[in-house]
Amino acid sequence: MKDNNATNVSKKNCDRPLSRAVVKIVNALVFNMLEWASSFKEEEPVLFHLFLCNNYWYLWVNFQASPELKAVVGETWIKDKKQEAEDHMSLYMKEGWEKIVHNLNVSTSTTFTGISRASTRELLKSKLKAFNIAFKDLYEKHMKWVVPDAKLKEKMCIKVVKCIVPSYRTYLQTYGPLLEQDGSKSKYEKYSAQDLERVLSGLFQGRS
């Protein structure tokens, strides 16, 4: 991503008083947005990236739709806002959903070589339990968050579903039969793959 200085609108198109005033407002808006986001960057990095993705996308959509504003800030600045949104979307996925899906990674060589089936089941249970806890924690952080733009909301939901559901479904299909042998599958399988897809497809609505 670009540094904070690169978020400022260039002054090359600001020879008129009104243009200069608009540029000052835009630069102040972006500065305040970054200051606000920085207040929770360390504590909540997932929501930090979601917040900036949401706001940069908003700037891109609205400035792109206005010929007058586009003439003032320039095409490059507008394209940069979309790229910033995309960058923060990628970091949001990396810091959030990609981290929790790692709980479902199981090394076949470690799992099925040199240890008993009972030990294997315990490992699989611990993996699924860790995923359930991480999923619940991350999902609850999203309950009050809204992505107003319908296209961005759809784009992000699709990314989250593709990140989580296939790995989760594969885990259940591969290791579910082993967990069923001691009757523990129903205890540790908190969600079906369909449940997860439905829940994740409804993210960013601003409700529980």
In degrees, rounded to 5, the angle at the alpha carbon of residue 99 between the alpha carbons of residues 95 and 105 is: 165
120 and 71 within one domain: no
Domain range for 134 is 97-201
The count of C-alpha atoms lying within 13 angstroms of the C-alpha of 23, restricted to the half-sphere facing its C-beta, is 18
Q: Which residues pair with 205 in a beta bridge?
A: 146
Is 208 within a domain? no
80 and 31 within one domain: yes
Query: What pLDDT score does 114 carry?
Result: 55
Model confidence pLDDT, tens digit, residues 4-16: 444 565 555 555 7
144 and 66 within one domain: no
75 and 22 within one domain: yes
Model confidence pLDDT, tens digit, residues 168-186: 999 999 988 888 887 777 8
Model confidence pLDDT, tens digit, residues 107-159: 754 555 556 778 888 889 999 999 999 999 999 888 888 999 999 999 999 99
3-state DSSP call for residue 164?
helix
* CATH code for the domain in which residue 176 is found: 1.20.1280.170
Is 207 within a domain? no
22 — pLDDT class (breaks 50, 70, 90): confident
Q: How many domains does the chain have?
A: 2
183 and 130 within one domain: yes
CB–CB of 1/88 below 8 Å?
yes
Is 206 within a domain? no
44 and 105 within one domain: no
Query: What pLDDT score does 115 carry?
Result: 62
104 and 195 within one domain: yes
Closest CA to 152 of 65, 54, 63, 84: 54
